[in-house]
Amino acid sequence: MMRLALTFNDIFKSSFLEQVESFAPLDMVIALVLALALGLFILLIYRKTFTGVMYSASFGLSLMALTLITTLVIMAVTSNVVLSLGMVGALSIVRFRAAIKEPLDIAFLFWAIAAGIVLGAGLLPLAVFGSLFIGVILLAFANRRSGYTPYLLVVTCGNESEQPVMQAVQQEAKKYQLKSKTVSPDGMELTVEVRLPGDSSQLVNEAAVLPGVRSAVLVSYNGEYMS
């Protein structure tokens, strides 16, 4: 006689319970704890190497969260081939539209994801020592200072004052480059990219007292500058 009552094991014929039982809770705990530790380490390195003006706490927190989430996903994918195919299809429809302000932020995002992938795959020593090595390299190179700070010097002056202004720039700046020149019947506006030693602002003082100069402004410049 056919059994009418189905047991719990009979319902899940796709080895669902076997996958749960074969998954080691200790491995999960170790991987997630290490993911948390590496996520905090990545966050610490990001804070130490951040050179922008406005620090985004949410971006720093997302680095730690990415490490944890990626570890969780990779552990699930490596335990079930069918689940891995479904995960690829699900992630293919995800679109990320957050603006990346600094090029170095992309490196931190990939670092967090890579650490999570390696931890989820069970390569714990590689994840730990690899992250330590990357952190040391970033600290060593990101905090290097050349001793010269890039600025933009904006001078509004008469047409006859262009040569004295450029002579003052040549004397004070290690390197300089004329970025723009606007000429009008009332005079001209010069925008010069300069590299000055340290936080020196003597150049703008000298330019402001030159004959024919109506205003001189020195602006910190964080874009691409002369190498």
Distances (CA, A) of 62 to 18, 43, 88, 100, 223: 34, 9, 21, 13, 25
Question: Token pair for residue 33?
Answer: 């704890």
Task: Tell me the pairing of strands 213-220 and 187-197.
Answer: unpaired
Q: How far apart are CA 39 and CA 44, in angstroms?
A: 9
CATH 1.20.1730.10 correct for 148-220 = no
> Cβ distance 161 to 212 under 8 Å?
yes
Question: Token pair for residue 169?
Answer: 């720039």
**Domain-wise residue ranges, the chain:** 17-142, 148-220
pLDDT in tens, 58-100: 888 888 888 898 888 888 777 665 555 555 555 555 555 666 6
Task: Say if pTM beats, i.e. exceeds, 0.85.
Answer: no
